[in-house]
Amino acid sequence: MTGSSVSFVRFTPCRGACRGTSSWRGSALTAGTIILQSVILSSCSGVQSALDPAGPEASDVATLFHVMLIGGVVIWLGVVGALFHAGRRAREPYSERTAGLVILWCGAIIPVIVLAALLSYAVWLMPNMRPWSSGGEGGLRQIEVSGEQFWWRVRYLDPEGNVLFETANEVVMPVGERVLFVLKSPDVIHSFWIPSLGGKMDMIPGRTNRLALEASKPGTYRGVCAEFCGPSHALMAFSVEALERGEFEAWLSGRQNAASNPGSQGLALFLRHGCNACHAIDGTDARGTIGPNLSAFGARGTVGAGTLPNTEEHIARFIRHPSEIKPQARMPSFGMIPEGDAEEIAAYLKGLK
């Protein structure tokens, strides 16, 4: 298995600070206090936390959760209190009639009212959280994401649905604008999830699902596959970078007009060893479509869909022994390539920006 650290390069500054406190203290305290702790600390919990929302959908859900959490704690304390009271020995037994009324009120009537209110709140929330699903997807910027064992194919589409360009394992999106993700899968079921921005949506062979998400503040977030999809399900992540509108437009046009890549020793080796059978690099003769598109690979944070930090050494290792890093990865091993060649290709890939 992978011995090296699985890591994300960029992270929000508060993460390191809160990680230590919330967790070790949590272990020592009783259940009730952990809940309260979490309420206090929940606003600070990382690049992949549903409780650290960076978009309207996630923040609606976080609010819903906090409302339910407080209600839940009150109910739990009430029930446990009643249980303890009922278990006390020095106490006159209640009459059967009074006990019957306890069932009627606490067991039936109060829950009916509370649940009806909660259900109405949640059902009212649904169409408001995802209004785009009632046919209002026109005009949204579209990104097609395809979950494949065990990586993400990401295609930027124009308003007519034509592919502008393709990349992999990274999503770059503008802040303050709903982006429509068109979700597909060619092999097994995956699930597309960026906890900081909103809920997940499955990618099901034969079906096309749609999910519109909005980032409300710039930053880097982490997305993962949330439906078990095979041996390396755990090693299928992607990064989400939310940029201010201007920056985003600049990035987009930069990628669309990628200058043709100058030939190099690394590219020649890449082609000689047949990497182009599966991989494409825009502006070169590498036009394979089976595996991830490697254009601007050097700008990505990780190798192998969030598995290893993007260094030349890791790239070379991945080329030679992908299955050691990612069990049963679809990419065949290129252990027969001389180490020097693999390093050369790695350097070339790392240099693609």
Partner 1 sequence: MTTALGEFSPDERAAQEERLRKAWETPKGWRYWTSVNNSQIGLWYGVTAFGFMLFAGVLALLVRLQLAVPNNDLLTADFFNQAFTLHGTVMMFLFAVPIFEAIAIFLLPSMLGARELPFPRLSAFGFWSFLLGGVFVCGSIFFNSAPSTGWFMYPPLATSKEYSGIGADIWLLGLSFIEVASIAAAVEIIVGIMKCRAPGMRINMMPMFAWYLLIVAGMILFAFPPLIAGDILFEMERMFGWPFFDAERGGDPLLWQHLFWIFGHPEVYIIFLPAIALMAMIVPTFSQRPIVGYSWIVLAAVGTGFLSFGLWVHHMFTTGLPQISLAFFSAASEAVVIPTGVQIFVFIATMLAGRVIFSVPMLFGAGGLVVFVIGGLTGVMVALVPFDWQAHDTYFVVAHLHYVLIGGMLFPIIAGIYYYFPFFSGKKLSDAWGKAAFWLMFVGFNIAFFPMHFSGLRGMPRRVFTYPGDVGWDWFNLISTIGAFIFATGVLTVVVDIFRPKTKLNDLNPWRSGTLEWTNNPDESWGMRSVPIISSRYPLWDQPGLQRDIEAGRYYLPDAQSGRRETLVTSVLDAEPIQCLRVGGTSYVTIVAALALGGVFIALTFHWWITTIVCAVITLMAILYWLWTGTAEIPPTPEMDVGLGKSLPIYVSGPASVGWWAMFITMVGDGTAFASLMFGYFFYWTIHDDFTAGLNGPGVFWPSVAIALFIVSWGLMLAARHLNRGDKIAGARLALIFSLAASLGGSVAGLLGPYVYDMQPTTHVYPAIVWIIVIWAVVHAVVGCIMQLYCLARSFAGIMTARYDQDIVNVTLYWHFLTITAVVSFGVVGLFPLVR
Partner 2 sequence: MKHLLPPEIESLWTLFTAPVVWAAHFVVCYAAVAIYCEKAAVWDVDFGNVRTALGIFTLLALAMIVLSAYLAWRQWGFGAGDPPHDGATDQDRKRFQGFATLLLSGLSFVAVVYVAIPLIFIAGCQQ
Q: Scanning residues 64 to 123, which ones bind partner 2 (CB under 8 A)?
A: 96-97, 100, 108, 112, 115-116, 119-120, 123
For partner 2, the binding residue among 15, 19, 66, 130 (CB under 8 A) is 130
Specify the DSSP class assigned to residue 162: -
124, 159, 205, 335: residue in contact with partner 2 (rule CB under 8 A): 124
In angstroms, what is the minimal distance from the CB of 347 to partner 1? 25
Q: Considering the complex, what minimum distance in angstroms separates the CB of residue 102 from partner 1?
A: 5
Site for partner 2 in 279-338 (CB under 8 A): none
> 3-state DSSP call for residue 189?
coil
Element holding 76 (H helix, E strand)? helix 56-87
The region, left, alpha or beta by phi > 0 then psi within -120 to 50, assigned to residue 100 is alpha
- Asked if 208 touches partner 2 (CB under 8 A), the answer is no
For residue 88, how many other CB atoms are within 10 A of its CB? 7
127 near partner 2, rule: CB under 8 A: yes
Q: Does 228 bind partner 1 (CB under 8 A)?
A: yes
Residue 13 CB, nearest distance to partner 1 (Å)? 13
Which of 31, 259 has the CB closer to partner 1? 31
User: Is the sign of the CA dihedral 100, 101, 104, 105 positive or negative?
Assistant: negative
CB of 213 to partner 2, least distance (A): 16
Q: Is 288 in the site for partner 1 (CB under 8 A)?
A: no
Longest dimension (CA), the chain: 91
- What minimum distance in Å lies between the beta carbon of 116 and partner 1? 8
Q: Is 273 in the site for partner 1 (CB under 8 A)?
A: no
Position 233 contacts partner 1 (CB under 8 A) = yes
* Residue pair 343/264 in contact by the 8 Å Cβ criterion: no
Are 225 and 150 in contact by the 8 Å Cβ rule? The answer is yes
Smallest separation (angstroms) from partner 1 to the CB of 152: 15
- Minimum CB separation from partner 1 for residue 79, in Å? 5
Contact between 240 and partner 1 per CB under 8 A: no
Q: Of 39, 56, 59, 68, which one interacts with partner 1 (CB under 8 A)?
A: 68
- Residue 32 has, within 13 A of its CA and on its CB side, a CA count of 7
Instruction: Indicate the helix (H) or strand (E) that contains 211.
Output: strand 209-213
Choice from 23, 33, 133, 265 touching partner 2 (CB under 8 A): 133
229 binds partner 1 (CB under 8 A): yes
Residue partners of 225: CB distance under 8 A and separation at least 6: 147, 150, 190, 191, 192, 193, 233, 236, 237
- Helix, strand or coil for residue 204? coil
Number of C-beta neighbours around residue 298 at 10 A:
16
Query: What is the chain's percent helix, strand, coil content, to nearest 5?
Result: 45, 20, 40
Q: Judged by CB under 8 A, does residue 54 bind partner 1?
A: no
Tokens read off for 149:
């064992």
CB 96, min distance to partner 2, A: 7
C-beta closer to partner 1: residue 5 or 260: 5
Q: Which of 13, 40, 85, 257 binds partner 1 (CB under 8 A)?
A: 85
Q: Contact positions toward partner 2, by CB under 8 A?
A: 96-97, 100, 108, 112, 115-116, 119-120, 123-124, 126-127, 130, 133-135
